[in-house]
Amino acid sequence: MARAEKQAAVAEIVESFNESAGAVLTEYRGLTVKELQDLRRSLGEHADYAVVKNTLTKLAAQEAGITGFDELLTGPTAIAFLNGDVVEAAKGLRDFAKAHPALIIKGGYLDGKAIDAKEVAKLADLESREVLLGKLAGAMLASLQNAVFLLNAPLAQAARLAGALQAKAEQDPSILAGGAGAAPEPAAEEAAPAAEEDTTEETTEEPAAEASTDEAPAEESTEADEATEA
């Protein structure tokens, strides 16, 4: 390969490293061309699967500032550059490796950190971004429903109270008037004893007047006796 071609190939790998969220290195020895095509299709938009040369990949990794790849770059190597949902890409690689044991996952890097094959398997066991977003949306919807219920609860209670008052008012219409029809009765009962007390006092004073009237004839009788003696 000419020097210019090598530089172009390295630049292309560096660009793939820089534009991707991570990469998974695999060994594809034993896979047919058709199987490699099937693997690319299974990864879809989540990863770009490319066969690379180990020497050029080492140079590109150094230029991109990625470390820990040297021991992985042995044998026929192909890299899955993760561009979409990294969990879905890891699942695609894992499932394809189960169906095609010739595909060996070596390791890779994610968010600037090196990961081994076991960590790639753990990544594949996680729930996908769509599932997590669905759960988050469900949790937010449940929170909104709880908030709506709390906001509407006082209104519902007020409506029940109004309904109870209306039902009671239909049985006793005086409730709507504030009980005005029933209030005067106790007042009349309280006024009756007061009237009786006034009558008693007046009755007590009348005999006193009669007594003064009786005393007058007695005085007149005394004066008549005095005139006779004279």
Q: What is the pLDDT of residues 25-75, one digit of tens each?
A: 999 999 999 999 999 999 988 999 999 999 999 999 999 988 888 888 989
Report the chain's terminal Cα–Cα distance, integer Å: 183
State how far the Cα of 216 lies from the Cα of 47, in Å rounded to an integer. 138
Residue 12 lies in a domain: yes
pLDDT at 162: 61
Query: pLDDT by residue (tens digit) across 14-28?
Result: 999 999 989 999 999
Q: Do residues 159 and 95 share a domain?
A: no
Based on the number of CB atoms within 10 Å of its own CB, is 105 exposed (0-12), middle (13-18) or buried (19 or more)? Answer: buried
Lowest mean pLDDT among 80-89, 110-119, 208-217: 208-217
CA 178 to chain CA centroid, Å, is: 44
Structure tokens at 186: 């106790």
- Strand segments, DSSP code E, in the chain are 22-27, 47-52, 77-82, 104-110, 113-116
Query: pLDDT by residue (tens digit) across 107-164?
Result: 999 887 889 999 999 988 886 555 545 545 555 555 555 555 555 555 555 556 566 6
22-27, strands of its sheet edge to edge? 47-52, 77-82, 22-27, 104-110, 113-116
Summarize the confidence of residues 194-212 as an average pLDDT: 44
The single residue listed with the structure tokens 């042995």 is 74
Higher pLDDT, 189 or 109: 109
Residue 224 lies in a domain: no
What sign results for the dihedral spanned by CA atoms 38, 56, 88, 118?
A: positive
The single residue listed with the structure tokens 């060994």 is 27
Q: Do residues 149 and 78 share a domain?
A: no
Phi and psi, residue 24, nearest 5°: -125, 125
Q: Do residues 112 and 67 share a domain?
A: yes
Q: Do residues 102 and 8 share a domain?
A: yes
Residue 180 lies in a domain: no
Q: Do residues 139 and 65 share a domain?
A: no
CB 87 within 8 A of CB 37: no
Number of compact structural domains in the chain: 2
Q: Do residues 16 and 117 share a domain?
A: yes
CATH of the domain at 85: 3.30.70.1730
Query: Helix-strand-coil percent breakdown of the chain, rounded to 5?
Result: 70, 15, 20
Q: Do residues 44 and 69 share a domain?
A: yes
Q: Do residues 169 and 100 share a domain?
A: no
**Structural domain span for residue 143:** 132-173
pLDDT at 216: 44
Phi and psi, residue 51, nearest 5°: -80, 130
pLDDT at 94: 94
Summarize the confidence of residues 75-90 as an average pLDDT: 92
pLDDT at 165: 66
State how far the Cα of 142 lies from the Cα of 154, in Å rounded to an integer. 20
pLDDT at 80: 95
Q: Do residues 49 and 122 share a domain?
A: yes
